[in-house]
Copies of this chain bind each other. A is one copy, B any other.
Amino acid sequence: MTNELDPTDIEILKLLQQDATLTNKEISFKLHKSIATIHERIKRLKEQGYILRTVSILNRKKINKSLIAFSQVLLNDHAADTLAAFEREVSKFPEVMECFQMTGTFDFILRIATSDMDAYHDFYRNKLATLPNITTVQSFFVLSETKSDTAYPL
């Protein structure tokens, strides 16, 4: 079986990125295909790793995660071991939802979710700033969410 996507696969992925509670039946109706075809396609898309996982997205304001920060971190040593150690340790903090190594004037960008500025301060002081080899941390805070999507353009 081929490992490339045809237009039906693309449409299925578009739909599931927006709403993964759609049943095979509903998708088959939208795409004018049989239920078995849709079932087979989705099974293959999961097996071949196109679909990584299916998750519920929560309303962060209702679960007391009102403050989102993006923190840019610069290290004072760029040996592979140092970078790997930072990645390993920072990933353990539950407040850190994302960690990317970046091009440019800093090394990493972190997305940090906390309840408020006090909680962020606590995280910064007692967790992030205790990691070795950090030169600077520059943080920016989300004032408002204009667009917040997990779907890639297809």
Tell me if A17 is interfacial: C-beta within 8 Å of chain B.
yes
Tell me if A29 is interfacial: C-beta within 8 Å of chain B.
no
Name A's B-contacting residues (CB within 8 A): 5, 13, 16-21, 48-60, 62-63, 65, 68, 70, 87, 90-91, 94-104, 106, 108-109, 113, 140-154
Q: Do A146 and B91 touch across chains, with their CB atoms under 8 A apart? A: yes
Q: Do B21 and A50 touch across chains, with their CB atoms under 8 A apart? A: no
In the assembly, how many copies of this chain are there?
2
Q: Do A49 and B59 touch across chains, with their CB atoms under 8 A apart? A: yes
Q: Do B87 and A146 touch across chains, with their CB atoms under 8 A apart? A: yes
- Chain B residues with CB under 8 Å of A5's CB are 63
Partner of A54, one of B54, B65, B91: B54
Q: Do A56 and B54 touch across chains, with their CB atoms under 8 A apart? A: yes
Q: How far is the CA of A19 from the CA of B59 in the complex (A)?
A: 16
Partner of A49, one of B55, B62, B96, B99: B62
Given contact pairs A13-B56, A150-B97, A50 touches B62 in the complex (Cβ within 8 A): yes
Q: How far is the CA of A101 from the CA of B144 in the complex (A)?
A: 5
CB distance from A70 to the nearest CB of B (A): 6
- Chain B residues with CB under 8 Å of A153's CB are 65, 94-95, 113
Q: 15 A-B Cβ contacts within 8 A?
A: A13-B63, A16-B56, A50-B59, A52-B58, A54-B54, A68-B100, A70-B109, A90-B147, A91-B146, A96-B147, A97-B149, A99-B147, A100-B145, A100-B148, A102-B142
